[in-house]
Amino acid sequence: MGEPNSLIPKLACMRDMVGADRMCFGSDQNSGKRHCRENSVLSQWLDFMRRLPEMAKDYGYLFTQEKMDLILGGAAQKHFNL
């Protein structure tokens, strides 16, 4: 995982350029024993994204819960009628 001080500005820039309604958190995580359970970092990334609204404040950025809901699946639900 990268450092929040470098990831948060990049995510904010992406959000500002394309809009949260065009962003979607996803993973290209490999499957299989080497990449599952205790070897997976996916849960760490999900935790980071869920805590982003609070952490971003420490770096001078604002991520509303509404925008995060879009990024964490709401946009996909909307665009693909899920």
pLDDT digits (tens, 9 = 90+) for 53-81: 999 999 999 999 999 999 999 999 999 99
Q: Is the pLDDT of residue 4 over 90?
A: no
Q: Are 75 and 24 in contact (CB under 8 A)?
A: yes
> What are the structure tokens assigned to 68, written together?
């995060």
| pLDDT score recorded for residue 5 | 83
- Is pTM beyond 0.85? Reply is no
Is the pLDDT at 38 greater than 70? The verdict is no
The more confidently predicted of residues 7 and 31 is 7
